[in-house]
Amino acid sequence: MKTKKIQNLDGFTGTILIPVFETNAKSIVPIEFHGTTVSSKVFYGKKDTHYLVEKYDCTHVFIGLGKEMDYKSLKTIFRRIAAKQKDIFTTSVALVVPQEFDSNQVEATLSGLVLGTYNLGHYKKSEEHPFLNADFELQFISKNDVEDAIAKGIKIAKAQLETFNLVDLPPNKVNPKYLANWASETGKQYGFDVTVFGKEKSHAVGLHSFLSVGKGSANEPQFIIMDYNPGNTKKHIGLVGKGITFDTGGLNIKTAGMVQMKCDMAGAAAVLGTMQLVADLQLPYRVTAIVPACENSVDAHSFMPSDVIQSYAGHSIEIIDTDAEGRLVLADG
């Protein structure tokens, strides 16, 4: 999403987003903006409401903020507008940033608008959200310096969208190799180092707990190590994300809910998205992140209840239930 600051709406045609603070239904003072008046009898800024007025070749979208404007609420409000009202958007959209908004509130607003472009039906035919059009440019009006907050909000949303994609895509696409490739490509784009251990390297290093979980899968386990090091850092932070791209439960096979087990790598997705954002924001911290990625499948090579396996830490582990695979890969991570 490209953005541009404008001074006023002279000559503007398109959609205007106008956040409105809540008053009350009996207020005698109407809401006014850009020569457009809205009576409190039909709209007074109540949270999760909006009102449309067509005037001056513009669609004025008055957006109710409610009485309390915490970060999460603002993000949800604008995400909902972008997602559920996308038919009112064109390639020309202007956002009016209230003077009362601080940088966090501006950030939440932009983040919500970008998140509203998410399409859960990845393989269904649908029209692309107008915000994703290559020619789209969000124009904004503000008396304050909000450019940094706007840029930050967009970067946060982009990282979250990548996380959503990783979690929601099917397991025949998002397998351990897919996560390893995603990490390598994203590292090159945003500026963090990535090292990936395959089966042989993992065995040589001593990641036996991790390898035991992936023994029953045709897809080779991938132990992903990411490191963002800007130099002269304040502290060093470590992250570990569970990367089970599909969990059958192993020989202790699941008897219910297996259709959701493509999401057993959501911890890994959160860590991967975090690494993108940390590097994109150029935070003054060194962050090292580990994603042990494998599938917990069933075949003749699967690890078994009562097996005793080794771990990177040098401890032995007795397997009681193969559906407790998460703690095994995280232990080596």
Out of 17-31, 95-109, 261-275, which region has the weakest mean confidence (pLDDT)? 17-31
Q: Which of 78, 91, 80 is nearest to 2 (CA)?
A: 91
Mean pLDDT of the 110-138 span:
89
Question: What pLDDT is stored for residue 160 in this prediction?
Answer: 98
Burial letters for 272-291: b for 16+ Cβ neighbours within 10 Å, e otherwise? bbbbbbbbbeeeeebbbbbb
% of the chain residues with pLDDT over 90? 79
Mean pLDDT of the 80-90 span:
91
Give strand pairing partners of 287: 228, 237
Distance CA 328, CA 14 (A): 55
Query: Is 254 among the residues known to form the active site?
Result: yes
Mean pLDDT of the 115-122 span:
91
pLDDT of 25 higher than 80: no
Question: What pLDDT is stored for residue 178 in this prediction?
Answer: 98
**Coil, helix or strand for 199?**
helix
Question: What pLDDT is stored for residue 124 in this prediction?
Answer: 85
Question: What pLDDT is stored for residue 30 in this prediction?
Answer: 79
Instruction: Give the pLDDT band of residue 26 (cuts 50, 70, 90).
Output: confident
Question: Which backbone phi and psi does 17 adopt, to 5 degrees?
Answer: -95, 120
Distance CA 111, CA 101 (A): 14
Out of 89-93, 137-141, 271-275, 287-291, which region has the weakest mean confidence (pLDDT)? 89-93
Q: Going by C-beta distance under 8 Å and a sequence separation of 6 or more, which residues neighbour residue 102?
A: none
Out of 108-112, 141-145, 188-192, which region has the weakest mean confidence (pLDDT)? 141-145
Average pLDDT, the chain: 94
pLDDT of 155 higher than 90: yes
24 or 173: whose pLDDT is higher?
A: 173
Instruction: Give the pLDDT band of residue 243 (cuts 50, 70, 90).
Output: very high
Query: Is 327 among the residues known to form the active site?
Result: yes
Question: What pLDDT is stored for residue 268 in this prediction?
Answer: 98
Query: At residue 315, what is the residue type?
Result: H
Decide if 216 contacts 297 (C-beta within 8 A): yes
Angle, CA of 267, 273 and 276, to the nearest 5°: 145
pLDDT of 175 higher than 80: yes
The active-site residue, picked from 46, 254, 262, 286, is 254
The active-site residue, picked from 173, 188, 201, 327, is 327
Question: What pLDDT is stored for residue 328 in this prediction?
Answer: 98
Question: What pLDDT is stored for residue 145 in this prediction?
Answer: 94
In the chain, the DSSP E strands lie at 2-5, 14-20, 31-33, 36-38, 50-55, 58-64, 92-96, 137-141, 193-197, 222-228, 236-240, 243-247, 286-296, 308-310, 316-318
Angle, CA of 165, 16 and 159, to the nearest 5°: 20
Out of 132-141, 193-202, 250-259, 313-322, which region has the weakest mean confidence (pLDDT)? 132-141
pLDDT in tens, 257-305: 999 999 999 999 999 999 999 999 999 999 999 999 999 999 999 999 9
pLDDT in tens, 50-73: 999 998 889 999 999 998 889 999
Question: What pLDDT is stored for residue 134 in this prediction?
Answer: 82
Out of 98-102, 120-124, 221-225, which region has the weakest mean confidence (pLDDT)? 120-124
Domains, in order of start, for the chain: 2-166 (3.40.220.10), 169-332 (3.40.630.10)
Q: At what angle do helices 103-115 and 147-168 cross, to 10 degrees?
A: 40
